[in-house]
Amino acid sequence: MYEPLVSGGTVRRLWIGEAELYGQHLLRLDAESRRNRFGGAVSDEFIGRYAESFTLSGAVIYGFFVDSVLRGAAELRLLEHTGDAEAALSVEKPWQSRGVGTALLERVLLAARNRQIERLHMLCLAENRRVQQLARKFDAALSFEAGSVMGEMKAPHPTPMSVMRELVADGTDLATAMLDVPSQLAKRLDYMNGPPERRRRDQRYERLMSVDNWR
């Protein structure tokens, strides 16, 4: 489950303390990718609030990393109706159409299966052909509603093998995340020691540092 992609990165789960990485990734999305991710134009302030720990509580997030920088993410969030969940994808433009979305969605589907999710929903804008094509790869039934597309994928029931696959992958992911910490800290210290105006911009992300584990 932790295999190099053609685009030169790796996919792993996000853990405690990595909410800031998720927020920074979302902020780096270009205008079109940001609109596709959230179903409309959103501000930097909205993304800052969205990436806070209490908002992400209960979500399972997988990330695509290149040189310890998060360049793509897939989020799995349970819905109120038992057996339903939603998935959301975001990939920065230079890494789009390179297999990243497929790799991320595969991890989300495994997590959904092991949580006995019967229906996994993906909501996207009608013009977002890339996500629609990705959903069709996984046999999603697409329905068009008021300018948007709802993809519904039925997740198979969990098996001992599927549970073991996730446990092994999560163990590897956690070990990899721990190895990434020195690199992340070094980059953060370098950033904080930069010009005063850059340090001021960075202060608004300080609240993202304290997060719960996303289960």
pLDDT digits (tens, 9 = 90+) for 159-185: 777 777 776 776 665 666 666 655 554
CATH of residue 176: 3.40.630.30
Over residues 31-48, mean pLDDT: 94
Task: Flag whether 214 is in a domain.
Answer: no
- Tell me if 213 is assigned to some domain: no
Q: Is residue 5 part of a domain?
A: no
Residue-level pLDDT at 35? 94
Query: Which is higher by pLDDT, 196 or 1?
Result: 196
User: Is residue 3, in this structure, part of any structural domain at all?
Assistant: no
CA 176 – CA 183 distance, rounded (Å): 12
Cα 61 to Cα 39: distance, rounded to the nearest angstrom: 19
- Whether the per-residue pLDDT at 74 is higher than 90: the answer is yes
In a domain, 77, yes or no: yes
Q: 147: left (phi > 0), else alpha (psi -120 to 50), else beta?
A: left
Residue 143 lies in a domain: yes
Q: So what's the pLDDT on residue 178?
A: 65
* Res 170: pLDDT: 63
More confident residue, 203 or 76: 76
In the chain, how many domains are there?
1
Burial (CB count within 10 angstroms: exposed 0-12, middle 13-18, buried 19+), residue 156: exposed
Residue owning tokens 């940001």: 34
C-alpha span between 196 and 98 (Å, rounded)? 37
Each residue's pLDDT tens digit, 94-142: 999 888 998 998 888 888 888 888 888 888 888 888 888 888 888 877 6
A 10 A CB-CB count for 28 gives 15
Highest mean pLDDT among 6-10, 183-187, 196-200: 6-10
Query: CB of 89 within 8 A of CB of 104?
Result: yes
The whole-number pLDDT of residue 2 equals 40
- Domain ranges, residue 145: 10-208
pLDDT of residue 43: 96
Amino acid 29: pLDDT:
97
Would residue 170 count as lying in a domain? yes
Cα separation, 205 vs 195, whole angstroms: 17
